[in-house]
Structure 1
Amino acid sequence: MHLPTLHAMSNGDTVFATVDLSASPERVFRALSTDQVELWWGSVDTYRMVDWSADLRVGGRWTVVVRRSDGSDLPAGGEFLEIEAPRRIVQTRAYAWDHPTLGRRQTTVAWLLQPVAAGTRLTICHGGFAGLAEAAAEHADGWARVLTWLAGYFDSQGRAAA
Protein backbone atom coordinates (compact mmCIF):
# COMPACT_ATOMS: atom_id res chain seq x y z
CA MET A 1 0.00 0.00 0.00
CA HIS A 2 1.20 3.49 -0.84
CA LEU A 3 1.61 5.64 2.25
CA PRO A 4 0.33 9.17 1.64
CA THR A 5 2.44 12.22 2.33
CA LEU A 6 0.45 14.07 4.90
CA HIS A 7 1.03 16.74 7.47
CA ALA A 8 -1.02 17.51 10.56
CA MET A 9 -0.19 20.06 13.23
CA SER A 10 -1.70 22.51 15.65
CA ASN A 11 -0.73 25.94 16.86
CA GLY A 12 -2.85 25.38 19.98
CA ASP A 13 -5.90 27.20 18.58
CA THR A 14 -6.30 25.67 15.12
CA VAL A 15 -5.47 22.31 13.57
CA PHE A 16 -4.03 22.18 10.07
CA ALA A 17 -3.79 18.96 8.06
CA THR A 18 -3.10 18.26 4.40
CA VAL A 19 -2.73 15.29 2.08
CA ASP A 20 -2.54 14.68 -1.66
CA LEU A 21 -5.18 12.19 -2.79
CA SER A 22 -5.30 10.07 -5.95
CA ALA A 23 -8.83 11.20 -6.85
CA SER A 24 -10.48 14.15 -8.54
CA PRO A 25 -11.89 17.01 -6.43
CA GLU A 26 -15.40 15.83 -7.39
CA ARG A 27 -14.75 12.32 -6.01
CA VAL A 28 -13.15 13.68 -2.85
CA PHE A 29 -16.05 16.09 -2.34
CA ARG A 30 -18.54 13.20 -2.58
CA ALA A 31 -16.50 11.11 -0.12
CA LEU A 32 -16.63 13.97 2.40
CA SER A 33 -20.23 15.12 1.94
CA THR A 34 -22.30 11.97 1.43
CA ASP A 35 -22.83 8.68 3.20
CA GLN A 36 -19.61 7.50 1.48
CA VAL A 37 -18.11 8.70 4.79
CA GLU A 38 -19.30 5.40 6.26
CA LEU A 39 -17.17 3.46 3.73
CA TRP A 40 -13.79 4.92 4.67
CA TRP A 41 -13.86 6.87 7.96
CA GLY A 42 -12.59 4.59 10.68
CA SER A 43 -11.12 1.18 11.28
CA VAL A 44 -12.11 -2.01 13.08
CA ASP A 45 -9.76 -1.31 16.01
CA THR A 46 -10.73 2.36 16.56
CA TYR A 47 -14.19 3.46 15.47
CA ARG A 48 -16.42 3.71 12.43
CA MET A 49 -18.75 6.43 11.22
CA VAL A 50 -22.35 5.19 10.98
CA ASP A 51 -25.76 6.81 10.44
CA TRP A 52 -24.36 9.71 8.39
CA SER A 53 -27.04 12.20 7.42
CA ALA A 54 -26.61 15.59 5.77
CA ASP A 55 -28.73 18.36 4.31
CA LEU A 56 -25.94 19.61 2.03
CA ARG A 57 -26.78 23.30 1.74
CA VAL A 58 -25.77 26.44 3.59
CA GLY A 59 -27.71 26.32 6.85
CA GLY A 60 -28.30 22.58 6.46
CA ARG A 61 -27.59 20.25 9.38
CA TRP A 62 -25.45 17.12 9.43
CA THR A 63 -25.24 14.32 11.96
CA VAL A 64 -23.18 11.18 12.39
CA VAL A 65 -22.65 8.52 15.01
CA VAL A 66 -19.15 7.35 15.88
CA ARG A 67 -19.37 3.66 16.81
CA ARG A 68 -16.34 2.68 18.88
CA SER A 69 -14.75 -0.75 18.75
CA ASP A 70 -16.41 -1.58 22.10
CA GLY A 71 -19.84 -0.98 20.49
CA SER A 72 -20.60 2.31 22.26
CA ASP A 73 -22.01 5.18 20.18
CA LEU A 74 -20.87 8.81 20.27
CA PRO A 75 -23.06 11.21 18.24
CA ALA A 76 -21.87 14.45 16.68
CA GLY A 77 -23.25 17.02 14.29
CA GLY A 78 -23.32 20.58 13.12
CA GLU A 79 -24.33 22.98 10.38
CA PHE A 80 -22.96 23.74 6.94
CA LEU A 81 -21.74 27.34 6.78
CA GLU A 82 -20.28 27.40 3.25
CA ILE A 83 -20.46 24.98 0.34
CA GLU A 84 -18.66 25.50 -2.95
CA ALA A 85 -18.73 22.12 -4.72
CA PRO A 86 -16.22 20.64 -5.37
CA ARG A 87 -13.76 23.10 -3.82
CA ARG A 88 -14.80 23.93 -0.25
CA ILE A 89 -16.97 22.87 2.66
CA VAL A 90 -17.12 24.79 5.94
CA GLN A 91 -19.14 23.33 8.77
CA THR A 92 -19.57 23.56 12.49
CA ARG A 93 -18.97 20.47 14.58
CA ALA A 94 -19.85 19.55 18.14
CA TYR A 95 -19.94 16.31 20.06
CA ALA A 96 -23.26 15.42 21.69
CA TRP A 97 -21.31 13.84 24.56
CA ASP A 98 -18.62 15.07 26.94
CA HIS A 99 -15.36 14.68 25.04
CA PRO A 100 -12.50 14.35 27.56
CA THR A 101 -10.47 17.33 26.27
CA LEU A 102 -13.02 19.34 24.24
CA GLY A 103 -16.33 18.75 26.00
CA ARG A 104 -19.23 19.82 23.80
CA ARG A 105 -17.54 22.95 22.46
CA GLN A 106 -18.54 23.83 18.92
CA THR A 107 -15.63 24.04 16.50
CA THR A 108 -15.43 24.85 12.79
CA VAL A 109 -13.94 22.59 10.12
CA ALA A 110 -13.00 23.91 6.67
CA TRP A 111 -12.26 21.35 3.95
CA LEU A 112 -10.36 22.91 1.04
CA LEU A 113 -9.95 20.86 -2.15
CA GLN A 114 -7.36 21.95 -4.72
CA PRO A 115 -6.73 20.12 -8.02
CA VAL A 116 -3.11 18.96 -8.36
CA ALA A 117 -1.37 16.78 -10.95
CA ALA A 118 -1.88 13.57 -8.94
CA GLY A 119 -5.53 14.32 -8.07
CA THR A 120 -6.54 16.55 -5.16
CA ARG A 121 -4.73 18.30 -2.35
CA LEU A 122 -7.09 18.27 0.63
CA THR A 123 -6.39 20.76 3.40
CA ILE A 124 -8.30 20.82 6.67
CA CYS A 125 -8.39 23.87 8.95
CA HIS A 126 -10.15 22.97 12.19
CA GLY A 127 -10.55 25.97 14.48
CA GLY A 128 -12.15 26.77 17.80
CA PHE A 129 -9.67 25.26 20.24
CA ALA A 130 -8.58 28.53 21.92
CA GLY A 131 -7.47 27.73 25.46
CA LEU A 132 -7.59 23.97 24.81
CA ALA A 133 -4.15 23.17 23.37
CA GLU A 134 -4.36 19.54 24.51
CA ALA A 135 -7.62 19.07 22.57
CA ALA A 136 -6.07 20.72 19.50
CA ALA A 137 -3.02 18.42 19.63
CA GLU A 138 -5.26 15.37 20.05
CA HIS A 139 -7.39 16.44 17.07
CA ALA A 140 -4.24 16.97 14.93
CA ASP A 141 -3.35 13.32 15.60
CA GLY A 142 -6.94 12.37 14.77
CA TRP A 143 -6.92 14.25 11.47
CA ALA A 144 -3.68 12.49 10.49
CA ARG A 145 -5.46 9.16 11.05
CA VAL A 146 -8.55 10.31 9.11
CA LEU A 147 -6.50 11.49 6.12
CA THR A 148 -4.62 8.17 6.07
CA TRP A 149 -7.95 6.32 5.93
CA LEU A 150 -9.22 8.58 3.14
CA ALA A 151 -6.03 8.15 1.09
CA GLY A 152 -6.28 4.37 1.56
CA TYR A 153 -9.88 4.44 0.38
CA PHE A 154 -8.94 6.14 -2.89
CA ASP A 155 -5.81 3.96 -3.34
CA SER A 156 -7.91 0.80 -2.94
CA GLN A 157 -10.49 2.09 -5.45
CA GLY A 158 -7.69 2.78 -7.92
CA ARG A 159 -6.32 -0.76 -7.53
CA ALA A 160 -9.82 -2.23 -7.93
CA ALA A 161 -10.34 -0.28 -11.17
CA ALA A 162 -6.95 -1.35 -12.60
Structure 2
Amino acid sequence: MMQIARVHSMTNGETIMASAEIEAPPERIFRALVGKEVEQWWGSAATYRMVDWSADLRVGGHWTVVVRTAGGRDLPASGEFLELEAQRRIVQTRVYAWDHPTLGRRQTTIAWLLEPTAKGTRLTICHGGFSGVSEAATEHAEGWGRVLAWLQAYVEAERLAAA
Protein backbone atom coordinates (compact mmCIF):
# COMPACT_ATOMS: atom_id res chain seq x y z
CA MET A 1 0.00 0.00 0.00
CA MET A 2 1.40 3.38 -1.01
CA GLN A 3 1.25 6.09 1.64
CA ILE A 4 0.23 9.55 0.48
CA ALA A 5 2.63 12.32 1.46
CA ARG A 6 1.05 14.43 4.17
CA VAL A 7 3.38 17.44 3.86
CA HIS A 8 3.51 19.58 0.70
CA SER A 9 5.49 22.73 -0.04
CA MET A 10 5.85 24.77 -3.22
CA THR A 11 6.59 28.25 -4.52
CA ASN A 12 5.97 30.29 -7.64
CA GLY A 13 9.10 32.32 -6.84
CA GLU A 14 7.18 35.06 -5.00
CA THR A 15 4.93 33.25 -2.52
CA ILE A 16 5.28 29.94 -0.73
CA MET A 17 2.42 27.59 0.00
CA ALA A 18 3.00 24.68 2.35
CA SER A 19 0.54 22.37 4.04
CA ALA A 20 0.41 19.35 6.29
CA GLU A 21 -2.23 16.96 7.50
CA ILE A 22 -1.61 16.49 11.22
CA GLU A 23 -3.44 14.01 13.43
CA ALA A 24 -4.12 16.42 16.29
CA PRO A 25 -6.89 18.99 16.89
CA PRO A 26 -6.41 22.64 15.86
CA GLU A 27 -6.15 23.84 19.47
CA ARG A 28 -3.18 21.47 20.01
CA ILE A 29 -1.44 22.69 16.86
CA PHE A 30 -2.06 26.34 17.76
CA ARG A 31 -0.46 25.85 21.20
CA ALA A 32 2.56 24.14 19.63
CA LEU A 33 3.00 27.09 17.23
CA VAL A 34 2.75 30.04 19.62
CA GLY A 35 3.87 28.77 23.02
CA LYS A 36 7.36 28.26 24.46
CA GLU A 37 6.88 24.58 23.54
CA VAL A 38 7.86 25.53 19.97
CA GLU A 39 11.49 25.26 21.12
CA GLN A 40 10.98 21.51 21.70
CA TRP A 41 10.09 20.59 18.14
CA TRP A 42 11.32 23.33 15.75
CA GLY A 43 14.60 22.08 14.37
CA SER A 44 16.91 19.11 14.14
CA ALA A 45 20.50 18.33 15.09
CA ALA A 46 21.47 18.35 11.38
CA THR A 47 20.02 21.79 10.57
CA TYR A 48 19.25 24.22 13.37
CA ARG A 49 17.28 24.37 16.59
CA MET A 50 15.04 27.07 17.94
CA VAL A 51 16.63 28.08 21.25
CA ASP A 52 14.83 31.24 22.34
CA TRP A 53 11.20 32.10 21.52
CA SER A 54 9.12 34.85 23.08
CA ALA A 55 5.83 36.29 21.92
CA ASP A 56 3.36 38.95 23.00
CA LEU A 57 0.29 37.13 21.68
CA ARG A 58 -1.93 39.98 20.57
CA VAL A 59 -2.49 41.94 17.37
CA GLY A 60 0.36 44.43 17.26
CA GLY A 61 2.38 42.29 19.68
CA HIS A 62 5.97 41.49 18.86
CA TRP A 63 7.75 38.17 18.78
CA THR A 64 11.44 37.24 18.74
CA VAL A 65 13.31 34.04 18.11
CA VAL A 66 16.88 32.80 17.99
CA VAL A 67 17.77 29.66 16.08
CA ARG A 68 21.15 28.02 16.58
CA THR A 69 22.74 26.34 13.58
CA ALA A 70 24.34 22.90 13.76
CA GLY A 71 27.65 24.81 13.69
CA GLY A 72 26.69 26.87 16.76
CA ARG A 73 25.85 30.19 15.08
CA ASP A 74 22.89 32.12 16.57
CA LEU A 75 20.51 33.61 13.99
CA PRO A 76 17.86 35.99 15.43
CA ALA A 77 14.61 37.02 13.78
CA SER A 78 11.57 38.99 14.89
CA GLY A 79 8.26 40.35 13.76
CA GLU A 80 4.79 41.50 14.67
CA PHE A 81 1.45 39.74 14.86
CA LEU A 82 -0.97 41.26 12.33
CA GLU A 83 -3.88 38.87 12.99
CA LEU A 84 -4.53 36.29 15.71
CA GLU A 85 -7.58 34.10 15.82
CA ALA A 86 -7.02 31.33 18.37
CA GLN A 87 -7.12 27.79 16.95
CA ARG A 88 -7.72 29.17 13.44
CA ARG A 89 -5.35 31.79 12.04
CA ILE A 90 -2.05 33.58 12.68
CA VAL A 91 -0.62 36.30 10.44
CA GLN A 92 2.78 37.70 11.30
CA THR A 93 5.66 39.59 9.79
CA ARG A 94 9.22 38.26 9.96
CA VAL A 95 12.59 39.87 9.40
CA TYR A 96 16.01 38.36 10.02
CA ALA A 97 18.37 40.38 12.26
CA TRP A 98 21.31 39.09 10.19
CA ASP A 99 22.17 39.13 6.51
CA HIS A 100 20.45 36.05 5.10
CA PRO A 101 22.43 34.96 2.00
CA THR A 102 19.45 35.08 -0.40
CA LEU A 103 16.85 37.19 1.45
CA GLY A 104 18.96 39.69 3.36
CA ARG A 105 16.88 41.55 5.94
CA ARG A 106 13.74 41.84 3.84
CA GLN A 107 10.48 41.69 5.80
CA THR A 108 8.12 38.92 4.75
CA THR A 109 4.63 37.96 5.91
CA ILE A 110 3.57 34.50 7.06
CA ALA A 111 -0.07 33.42 7.35
CA TRP A 112 -0.94 30.17 9.14
CA LEU A 113 -4.40 28.65 8.65
CA LEU A 114 -5.60 25.78 10.84
CA GLU A 115 -8.59 23.86 9.50
CA PRO A 116 -10.23 20.98 11.37
CA THR A 117 -10.37 17.71 9.40
CA ALA A 118 -11.85 14.28 10.10
CA LYS A 119 -8.45 13.09 11.43
CA GLY A 120 -7.15 16.31 12.99
CA THR A 121 -5.93 19.51 11.35
CA ARG A 122 -4.85 20.75 7.96
CA LEU A 123 -2.19 23.39 8.61
CA THR A 124 -1.51 25.67 5.65
CA ILE A 125 1.22 28.29 5.46
CA CYS A 126 1.26 31.12 2.94
CA HIS A 127 4.57 33.01 3.12
CA GLY A 128 4.79 36.07 0.89
CA GLY A 129 7.26 38.85 0.15
CA PHE A 130 9.79 37.08 -2.08
CA SER A 131 9.24 39.07 -5.27
CA GLY A 132 12.58 39.37 -7.08
CA VAL A 133 14.31 36.83 -4.83
CA SER A 134 13.06 33.51 -6.19
CA GLU A 135 16.14 31.65 -4.90
CA ALA A 136 15.16 32.69 -1.36
CA ALA A 137 11.58 31.55 -2.04
CA THR A 138 12.81 28.12 -3.15
CA GLU A 139 15.02 27.76 -0.05
CA HIS A 140 12.21 28.85 2.26
CA ALA A 141 9.73 26.47 0.58
CA GLU A 142 12.11 23.60 1.36
CA GLY A 143 12.45 24.92 4.91
CA TRP A 144 8.70 25.08 5.46
CA GLY A 145 8.42 21.46 4.31
CA ARG A 146 10.93 20.50 7.03
CA VAL A 147 9.20 22.62 9.69
CA LEU A 148 5.80 21.08 9.00
CA ALA A 149 7.30 17.57 9.08
CA TRP A 150 8.94 18.34 12.46
CA LEU A 151 5.65 19.62 13.89
CA GLN A 152 3.72 16.68 12.48
CA ALA A 153 6.19 14.14 13.93
CA TYR A 154 6.23 15.89 17.31
CA VAL A 155 2.48 16.07 17.94
CA GLU A 156 1.77 12.66 16.42
CA ALA A 157 4.48 10.97 18.55
CA GLU A 158 2.89 12.61 21.59
CA ARG A 159 -0.53 11.23 20.55
CA LEU A 160 0.87 7.72 20.01
CA ALA A 161 2.67 7.79 23.39
CA ALA A 162 -0.64 8.68 25.09
CA ALA A 163 -2.53 5.86 23.33
Fold match (TM-score > 0.5): yes
Give the TM interval when normalised to the shorter protein. over 0.9
Deviation readout 1:71-107 (Å, 9 max, x if unpaired): 1100001000000111000000010000000000000
Deviation readout 1:130-149 (Å, 9 max, x if unpaired): 01111001100000000110
What RMSD, in angstroms, separates the aligned Cα atoms of the two structures? 1.2
Structure 1 stretches (4+) deviating beyond 3 angstroms? none
Q: Superposition pairs for residues 54-93 of structure 1, below 5 Å?
A: 54-93=55-94
For 1:38, give the aligned amino acid: E
- Gapped runs of 5+ residues in structure 2? none
Percent identity (aligned): 68
Deviation readout 1:52-73 (Å, 9 max, x if unpaired): 0000000000000011111110
Give the equivalent residue in structure 2 for 1:16: 17
How far has the Cα of 1:3 moved from its partner? 8.4
- Gapped runs of 5+ residues in structure 1? none
Give the equivalent residue in structure 1 for 2:115: 114
TM-score by length of 1: 0.97
Say how many residue pairs are matched.
161
TM-score by length of 2: 0.96
Q: Distance in 2 between matches of 1:87 and 1:159?
A: 24
